[in-house]
Amino acid sequence: MFESEKTNVFWLGLIILGLASIALFSILWYMIVVAQPYFYADYYWKSLVPPVVGGVVFILIGLYMMRSGTKKKQEGRTQLLTQ
C-alpha cells in the first residue's frame, strides 16, 4: 500500500495515527474494564463520546496524511544513483 518514497508528511501522519490509536484504545479499555461495574455507566458513555469521535477523526486524518505523503516513482525512467 505504501510502496513508494515516504515524505515528512507520511511520517507525521504515522505519528498522528499511532497517538490517536493509543488514545482511542485507552478510552475504550477504560469503558470496558473500569466503568463496567458501576450502575451509572451511562454517564461515562455520554462524557466520553467527544474523545472517541476525536480519536476516530484523528485516525482518519493520519491515514489520509500517510496516503498523500508518498511520492510516486516515475515509471519508464531509470533513476541514477549519485554518490
pTM of the entire structure?
0.67
Q: Is the pLDDT of residue 19 over 60?
A: yes
pLDDT of res. 41: 62
Comparing CA positions, the residue from 51, 50, 58 lying closest to residue 17 is 58
Q: What is the DSSP letter of 6?
A: E
pLDDT of res. 8: 86
pLDDT, tens only, 22-67: 999 888 888 777 766 665 667 777 778 888 888 899 999 988 888 8
pLDDT of res. 7: 82
Q: What are the φ and ψ backbone dihedral angles of 57, each rounded to 5 degrees?
A: -65, -45
